[in-house]
């Protein structure tokens, strides 16, 4: 550290210069995060000092976390769902697998997950010493329930399905998978980190929520399509007993036991997440999601008029195409199979899409 501190002027000119090195959202087409909603930013700033790791000191903020769980549980067809606010999909997935392992009590437990699963499952399996069994996908990049069933054996503690895959925006056949899990009495976790805030607002979305009796837990991320400040994930759980299998004693805090992974936890981003839900309501989110889907359609149509074909028609707002050179300053991403990938987040608005198409047209011709 410096012997003598900076003046605040010096400090902030340094910090803001660093921020200036960051890329501009106006050209970021590769991210599942977006510019936070103005009410999320305002709420976040109002709750800066709150710590949900010691909720007895912040009962008001803690009740906002309860409200967040209740709102999202209701959205996913289980108003009585329990759960808590995580740092994002990664923590939700780690904790879901940890629950499944605790409940099953197998000696050499394995989990069955699709090839399309987010890399957080690799971390989870490493940390929890779980054998990861990967199921290959069908030609629409979905995990087939029969193929999943073949990988399940007596040591399987968890089956995972994805509702909105990170790379291709596909929804696995969650109803079929839930049926398999129910029949075999296996914990079934649905990773809806991205799709959870999209599918409920679409007209003909495939089933993926707690209305399917086999679904045990769901990961859903307000800091992606929920437009909240980072970090805001949510893990929702059907059975309180399952969640409580994660309990450890927490001496010297205002609560005696806790099931969260982090200790000190931000209340600010929870307030941010609640703020967007309350402010937009179902109507507002329908509009936001409809806008993203409309922009994705325009993007796809535009690309196809240049002969750049879609890789697949996605279930949520993640567009993929045959590879093509993309000029700067556009930031796109590439799937493991080499497709061009564009996430049609709210900041990728109609204007951005038109500018991008114009640039691609000039470069591609
Ligand atoms: C983004 C994503 C994750 C990871 O979430 P983080 O918030 O980045 O930890 C997990 N699963 C899916 C399907 C995702 O899209």
CA of 57 to the centre of ligand 1 (A): 30
pLDDT digits (tens, 9 = 90+) for 57-116: 999 999 999 999 999 999 999 999 999 999 999 999 999 999 999 999 999 999 999 999
pTM beyond 0.95: the answer is: yes
How far is residue 362's CA from residue 135's CA, in Å, rounded to a whole number? 41
In this prediction, residue 365 has a pLDDT band, given cuts at 50, 70 and 90, of low
Q: Which helix (H) or strand (E) holds 64?
A: helix 59-75
CA of 76 to the centre of ligand 1 (A): 18
Alpha-helix runs per DSSP H in 199-349: 240-244, 268-305
Substitution site in 30, 113, 194, 341 for ligand 1 pocket (most atoms within 8 Å of beta carbon)? 194
pLDDT for the residue numbered 120: 98
pLDDT digits (tens, 9 = 90+) for 41-58: 999 999 999 999 999 999
pLDDT digits (tens, 9 = 90+) for 300-346: 999 999 999 999 999 999 999 999 999 999 999 999 999 999 999 99
CA of 194 to the centre of ligand 1 (A): 7
What residue segments make up the domains of the chain, in order of their start?
8-37+282-363, 38-277
User: How would you class 218 by CB atoms within 10 Å of its CB: exposed for 0-12, middle for 13-18, buried for 19 or more?
Assistant: buried
DSSP E strands, 139-196: 156-162, 187-192
Q: Which helix (H) or strand (E) holds 342?
A: strand 340-343
Substitution site in 94, 218, 224, 225 for ligand 1 pocket (most atoms within 8 Å of beta carbon)? 224
pLDDT digits (tens, 9 = 90+) for 228-241: 999 999 999 999 99
pLDDT digits (tens, 9 = 90+) for 247-292: 999 898 888 889 999 999 999 999 999 999 999 999 999 999 999 9
**Fold adopted by 8-37+282-363:** 3.90.1150
Report how far apart, in Å, the C-alpha atoms of 57 and of each of 52, 53, 135, 186 are.
Answer: 8, 9, 45, 38
pLDDT digits (tens, 9 = 90+) for 197-232: 999 999 999 999 999 999 999 999 999 999 999 999
Ligand 1: atom nearest CA of 233 is 7
Ligand 1: atom nearest CA of 165 is 13
Which CATH architecture fits 38-277? 3-Layer(aba) Sandwich (3.40)
- For the chain, helix, strand, coil in percent to 5 are 40, 15, 40
Ramachandran region of residue 281, left (φ > 0), alpha (ψ -120 to 50) or beta? left
The token pair at 306 is 């240049």
CA of 86 to the centre of ligand 1 (A): 12
List all residues 6 or more positions away from 145 whose beta carbon is below 8 Å from its beta carbon. 173, 176, 177, 179, 180
How far is residue 279's CA from residue 285's CA, in Å, rounded to a whole number? 10
């Amino acid at each position: 550290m410096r012997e003598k501190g900076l003046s605040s002027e010096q400090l902030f000119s340094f910090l803001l210069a660093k921020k200036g090195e960051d890329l501009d959202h106006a050209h970021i087409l590769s991210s599942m995060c977006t510019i936070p909603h103005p009410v999320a930013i305002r709420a976040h700033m109002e709750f800066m000092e709150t710590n949900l790791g010691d909720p007895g000191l912040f009962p008001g903020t803690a009740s906002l976390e309860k409200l967040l769980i209740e709102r999202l549980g209701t959205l996913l067809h289980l108003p009585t769902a329990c759960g808590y606010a995580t740092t994002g999909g990664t923590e939700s997935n780690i904790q879901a697998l940890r629950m499944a392992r605790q409940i099953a009590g197998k000696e050499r437990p394995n989990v069955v997950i699709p090839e399309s699963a987010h890399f957080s499952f690799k971390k989870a399996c490493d940390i929890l010493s779980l054998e990861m069994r990967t199921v290959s996908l069908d030609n629409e990049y979905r995990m087939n329930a029969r193929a999943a069933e073949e990988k399940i054996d007596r040591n399987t503690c968890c089956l995972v399905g994805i509702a909105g895959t990170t790379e291709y925006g596909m929804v696995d056949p969650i109803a079929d998978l839930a049926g398999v899990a129910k029949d075999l009495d296996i914990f079934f976790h649905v990773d809806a980190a991205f799709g959870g805030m999209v599918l409920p607002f679409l007209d003909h979305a495939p089933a993926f929520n707690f209305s399917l009796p086999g679904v045990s837990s769901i990961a859903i991320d307000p800091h992606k399509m929920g437009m909240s400040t980072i970090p805001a994930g949510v893990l929702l759980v059907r059975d309180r007993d399952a969640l409580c299998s994660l309990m450890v004693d927490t001496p010297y805090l205002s609560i005696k036991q806790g099931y969260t992974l982090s200790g000190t936890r931000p209340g600010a981003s929870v307030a941010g997440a609640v703020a967007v839900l309350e402010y937009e309501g179902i109507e507002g989110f329908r509009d936001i999601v409809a806008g993203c889907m409309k922009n994705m359609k325009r993007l796809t149509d535009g690309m196809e008029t240049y002969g750049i074909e879609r890789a697949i028609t996605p279930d949520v707002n993640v567009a993929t195409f045959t590879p093509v050179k993309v000029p700067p300053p556009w930031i796109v991403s590439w799937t493991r199979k080499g497709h061009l990938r564009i996430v049609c987040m709210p900041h990728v608005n109609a204007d951005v899409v038109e500018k991008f198409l114009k640039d691609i047209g000039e470069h591609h011709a």
